[in-house]
């Protein structure tokens, strides 16, 4: 089915932030644009739009993915979580507290993507070295270059995890 501009449209059914989603989407629209423009979920940011910067990071079926390198059509049948849903659910609360405590979100542009990537890392519950943290977040660029504070924040959450576990 095509609209007046000749853009192909199709119906999708997915889970978004834990709730069912039924929409018609444009075939050519990537997920980050869909979230921002059709659903007004503007916490997912757009930087480079070719997979380098990580600002558009979302979670698909529980793993981080690039919103700009995924078509909205591709999420049909899948579960997507964004910064909005994960914040509301409290899953990011500890990371967010540690980010705020040391001003690890400076301009804030990278923060939503950075938090989601960090969440995938700390969720594993294992102890993780500083070098591993740096490697893991290397696909999320912070142009304020506030990496030290970000790594500190992630490290603090992992340390507190370990205390709890031990």
Q: Which residues bind other proteins (CB under 8 A)?
A: 5-8, 10, 27-28, 30, 33, 49-51, 54, 57, 60, 63-66, 68-71, 73-74, 76-77, 117, 120, 135-136, 138-140
Which CB, 7 or 88, lies closer to other proteins?
7
Closest separation in Å from C-beta 68 to other proteins: 7
Which CB, 97 or 143, lies closer to other proteins?
143
Closest separation in Å from C-beta 24 to other proteins: 12
Cβ contacts of 15-22, under 8 Å, gap ≥ 24: 15/78, 15/79, 15/80, 16/79, 16/80, 16/81, 16/82, 16/85, 17/80, 17/81, 17/82, 17/84, 17/85, 17/86, 17/88, 17/89, 18/81, 18/85, 18/89
Which CB, 97 or 123, lies closer to other proteins?
123
């Amino acid at each position: 089915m095509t609209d007046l501009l000749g853009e192909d449209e199709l119906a999708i059914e997915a889970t978004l932030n834990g709730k069912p989603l039924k929409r018609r989407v444009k075939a050519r629209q990537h997920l980050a644009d869909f979230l921002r423009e059709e659903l007004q979920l503007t916490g997912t940011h757009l930087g480079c739009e070719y997979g380098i910067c990580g600002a558009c990071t979302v979670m698909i079926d529980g793993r981080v993915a690039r919103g700009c390198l995924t078509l909205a059509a591709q999420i049909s049948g899948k579960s997507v979580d964004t910064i909005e849903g994960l914040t509301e659910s409290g899953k990011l609360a500890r990371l967010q507290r540690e980010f705020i405590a040391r001003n690890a979100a400076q301009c804030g542009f990278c923060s939503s993507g950075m938090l989601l990537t960090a969440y995938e890392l700390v969720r594993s519950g294992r102890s993780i070295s500083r070098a591993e943290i740096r490697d893991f977040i290397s696909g999320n660029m912070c142009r304020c270059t506030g990496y030290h504070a970000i790594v500190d924040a992630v490290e603090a959450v992992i340390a507190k995890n370990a205390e709890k576990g031990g």
